[in-house]
Amino acid sequence: MHAADRFLKFASECQVMAQSAPQRENKRVWNGLAERWLCCATLIEQLETDLRSSELKRRQKHLKIVAH
């Protein structure tokens, strides 16, 4: 399981906890945690995309050097 998938799972679990929390303050805390996990998932997805893009550019550059 990728990190982003785990973070999304954690966010979902926090949302479930928020729904079942009897007190408003507890709901707010659980929802806040869920939002943070969603942000983490978004960030790690962007980092992984950037890393793949960087690796692809590096490979393309290397291939151009080798081809000449």
What's the rounded Cα separation, in Å, for the pair 64 and 6?
38
Q: Is the pLDDT of residue 7 over 90?
A: yes
Please report, for the chain, the start and end positions of each structural domain, with discontinuous segments joined by +.
3-67
Q: Looking at residue 67, what is its pLDDT?
A: 67
DSSP 68: -
More confident residue, 14 or 63: 14
What's the rounded Cα separation, in Å, for the pair 40 and 60?
30
Q: Is the pLDDT of residue 28 over 80?
A: yes
* pLDDT band at 29; cut points 50, 70, 90: very high
DSSP assignments along 1-67, one per residue: --HHHHHHHHHHHHHHHHHH-SSHHHHHHHHHHHHHHHHHHHHHHHHHHHHHHHHHHHHHHHHHHHH
